[in-house]
Amino acid sequence: MANKVLEVKNLSVGFLSHARKVHIIRDVSIDVIEGETLAIVGESGSGKSVFTKTFTGMLDANGYIEGGSIMFHGQDLAKLTKPEQWLGIRGKKIATIFQDPMTSLNPLFSIGYQISEVLMLHHGLSKKDAKDEAIKLLKKVNIPDAEKRYDDYPFQYSGGMRQRVVIAIALACRPEILICDEPTTALDVTVQAQIIALIKELQKEYKWTTIFITHDLGVVANVADRVAVMYGGQIVEYGTAEDVFYEPAHPYTWALLSSLPQLGSKNEPLTYIKGNPPSFVSEIVGDAFAIRNDYALRIDFLQEPPMYKISDTHFAKTWLLDPHAPKVEKPKIIQNLRARMKIAAKELQREVGDE
């Protein structure tokens, strides 16, 4: 039985917006297994960032945990309220890499110093030892000429390089869990591939657990062992990567997969998800995705569906899995996903193995 490093149960998070309570995360439960990479997929506004911010106590000032628990080594992180309580956890045991490398680094200090600072703070290293270790870390993230680069400032670097520095800082702490909040969304596709490869490589070496947030299924396919799909502040489907890609059960997952550009053929319009993500302004009744769902049932507008078990690893929160529901097939475009992807890969000159 694999070890669970993080157990989230019935977590609910709200925000106070102009004297009104807005419920963003609504009754979410999931376990994170030690050593795995869990991808959390969803559109902007699905609540994925808010969800992971609760693991490091970094909710905005007007955010608060309404209920539920986050068990980490026997301690309930949801109950921690004071900044002092987070000292040994945030940055040290659970570290985060954010999306925008331009603002993640302090422009006034050299990149080397920002790494050393963490080492001195969390590991009590001396200035000299910290510098040596920082240079080693810069080398680890493939920054060339690390000794000379120690004194460089962030403004001298491109987005991809800065993100490497950010990874080095996170690495310095030897965290148990690394949360990557859309770390490659702001980067070019080539740099994106390199950064993801770097994170995977380091994970193999340092054996931490990665929680990877993204809206790009291509990235998910690359990194994830397990996938959790989020919509409207809830996890609507989760399972292993193969479960979710090859046997998706929730209409939202179907919609996400259908809208991949790789599936498009030149002479037909591409599929996309109509409408916009929920704005949480009004109370959500029933299934949040119903209004954009081609397969919405009448009950979706009335009552929130429970989480149905598909297999030991695969769960989905949709009325379509209810015994009363009509049998609905996945959209044609994502049936035989494997075959279609093989074709797409061939077109991209990719070597396609036999699976």
Partner 1 sequence: MVKNIDQVIDHNYEDLFTIVGTSEENIEKLETAPYSYWRETFKQLWKNPLAILCVIGIIVLVLMAIVGPWIKQYNIYTNGGTVSLDEFEPYLPPNADNWLGTGGTKMGYFKGLDLWTLVWYGTRLSLILGTVIALIDTFLGLLIGSLWGYFKWLDPIMLELRNFINNIPTLLLYILLMKFLERSFWTLVFVMCMFGWMGLAGFIRNQIIIIRNREYNIASQTLGSSPKAMITHNLLPYLISVIVTVVSTAIPAAISAEVGLSFFNLSFRAHENVTLGQLLTAATSDAWQTYPYLLIAPMIVLVPLTVTFFYLGLALADATDPKNHR
Partner 2 sequence: MMAENKEVLVRMEDVRISFKRGTVERIVIDHLNLDIFKGEILGLVGESGSGKTTIGRSIIRVVPVAKGKIYYNGQVISGDVEKHVARNLKTKVQMIFQDPSASLNERANVDYIVSEGLRAFHLYKDEAERLEKVNDIMRKVGLRPEHLKRYPHEFSGGQRQRIGIARSMVMQPEMIIADEPISALDVSIRAQVLNLIKKFQSENNMTVLFIAHDLSVVKYISDRIAVIYAGQLVELAKAERLFEVPCHPYTKSLLSAVPIPDPLMEKKKKIVTYDPSAHHYTSEDPAQLAEVEPGHFVRCDSKELAQYREICANFHEGGK
| Binding of residue 354 to partner 2 (CB under 8 A) | no
Q: How many residues bind partner 2 (CB under 8 A)?
A: 57
Instruction: Choose from partner 1, partner 2, none: what does 303 bind? Cβ within 5-8 Å by kind.
Output: partner 1
Q: Residues 241, 254: contact at Cβ < 8 Å?
A: no
Nearer to partner 1, 88 or 275 (CB): 275
- 52 Cβ contact partners less than 8 Å away, ≥ 6 residues apart: 40, 96, 179, 181, 211, 213
Q: Where are the alpha helices (DSSP H) in 141-212?
A: 146-149, 159-172, 189-206
Q: How far apart are CA 135 and CA 152, in angstroms?
A: 12
Q: Which residues bind partner 1 (CB under 8 A)?
A: 18, 274-276, 279, 281-282, 291-299, 301-303, 306, 319, 322, 324-326, 328
Tell me which amino acid residue 97 is.
I
Q: Residues 57, 29: contact at Cβ < 8 Å?
A: no
Residues of this chain, 129-158, that bind partner 2 according to CB under 8 A: 158
Report, in Å, the least distance between residue 29 CB and partner 2. Answer: 24
Among 159, 310, 321, 331, binds partner 2 (CB under 8 A): 159
| Binding of residue 215 to partner 2 (CB under 8 A) | yes
Among 59, 102, 221, 296, binds partner 2 (CB under 8 A): 221
Instruction: Choose from partner 1, partner 2, none: what does 324 bind? Cβ within 5-8 Å by kind.
Output: partner 1
| Binding of residue 192 to partner 2 (CB under 8 A) | yes
Among 266, 324, 327, 332, binds partner 2 (CB under 8 A): 266
What Å distances lie between residue 279 and 13, 47, 233, 317, 319, CA to CA? Answer: 15, 11, 11, 20, 23
Nearer to partner 2, 307 or 343 (CB): 343
Helix (H) or strand (E) holding 76: strand 75-76
Q: Residues 312, 79: contact at Cβ < 8 Å?
A: no
Helix (H) or strand (E) holding 178: strand 177-181
Instruction: Choose from partner 2, partner 1, none: what does 353 bind? Cβ within 5-8 Å by kind.
Output: partner 2
Report, in Å, the least distance between residue 31 CB and partner 2. Answer: 20
Among 35, 45, 67, 331, binds partner 2 (CB under 8 A): 45
First-residue to last-residue Cα distance in the chain: 27
Strands 226-231 and 94-97, how do they pair?
unpaired
Among 257, 284, 316, 320, binds partner 2 (CB under 8 A): 257
Binding site for partner 2 (CB under 8 A): 43-45, 158-159, 188-194, 197, 215-222, 224, 241-242, 245, 255-257, 259-262, 264, 266, 269-274, 276-277, 279, 337-338, 341-342, 344-345, 347-353, 355
